[in-house]
Amino acid sequence: MLKEIEVNERNYYKRIDKFIRNSYPQLKLGGIFKLIRKGFVKVNGKKIKNNDHEIFKGDIVSVYIPENTESLVRPEVQKFFPRYFDFDIIYEDDSLIVINKPPKISMHPGSGEQMVTVIEGLMFYADGKFDPHLVHRLDKLTSGVCVVSKTKEVSRELSDIIINRDADKYYFALVCGKPKNSGMLESVVDGKTARLEYKVRNVYNLPEGIFSLVDIHLFTGRKHQIRVQFSQINCPVAGDDTYGDRLLNREMRKKYGLRRFFLHAYRLKFNYKNTPYDFNAKLSDDLESVIQEISDYEEK
Q: Give the catalytic positions in this structure.
A: 139
Quote the distance between the C-alpha of residue 90 and its chain's center: 13
Euclidean distance between CA atoms 284 and 180, whole angstroms: 26
**Radius of gyration (Cα) for the chain, nearest Å?**
23
Per DSSP, the residues of 177-196 read S---SEEEEEEEETTEEEEE
Look at strands 96-101 and 143-149 and give their pairing.
antiparallel
- CA atoms lying within 13 Å on the CB side of residue 181: 0
DSSP assignment, residue 22? Answer: H
| Cβ neighbours of residue 43 closer than 8 Å, sequence gap 6 or more | 16, 53, 55, 59, 60, 61, 62
Write out the E strands in 136-262.
Answer: 143-149, 167-176, 182-189, 192-206, 209-218
Pick the closest to residue 23 from 1, 42, 4 (CA basis). Answer: 4
Q: How open is the CA angle 28-33-39, to the nearest 5 degrees?
A: 130
* CA gap 1, 20 in Å, rounded: 15
Task: Please tell me the distance from the alpha carbon of residue 203 to that of residue 175, in angstroms, as a whole number.
Answer: 10
Q: Which long-range contacts (C-beta less than 8 Å, at least 24 apart) are formed by 7-13? A: 7/55, 7/56, 7/57, 7/58, 7/59, 7/60, 7/61, 8/57, 8/58, 9/57, 11/128, 12/55, 12/57, 13/55
